[in-house]
Amino acid sequence: MEKLHLVNGSYLTNAAMLLFSKDPEKWQLGAYVKIGYFETDADLLYQDEIHGSILEQIDKIVEVVYLKYMKAKITYD
Residue 41 lies in a domain: yes
Tell me the pLDDT of the chain averaged across its residues: 86
Range of the domain at 64: 7-69
Secondary structure (H, E, C), the chain: CCCCCCEECCEECHHHHHHHCCCHHHCCCCCCEEEEEECCCCCEEEEEEECCCHHHHHHHHHHHHHHHHCCCCCCCC
**Which pTM does this prediction carry?**
0.69
Q: How much is the pLDDT for 72?
A: 65
- Residues of 34-56 as b/e, b for ≥16 C-beta within 10 angstroms? eeeeeeeeeeeeeeeebebbbee
Tell me the average pLDDT across 35-63: 90
Structural domain total, the chain: 1
Tell me the average pLDDT across 50-67: 91
Residue 1 lies in a domain: no
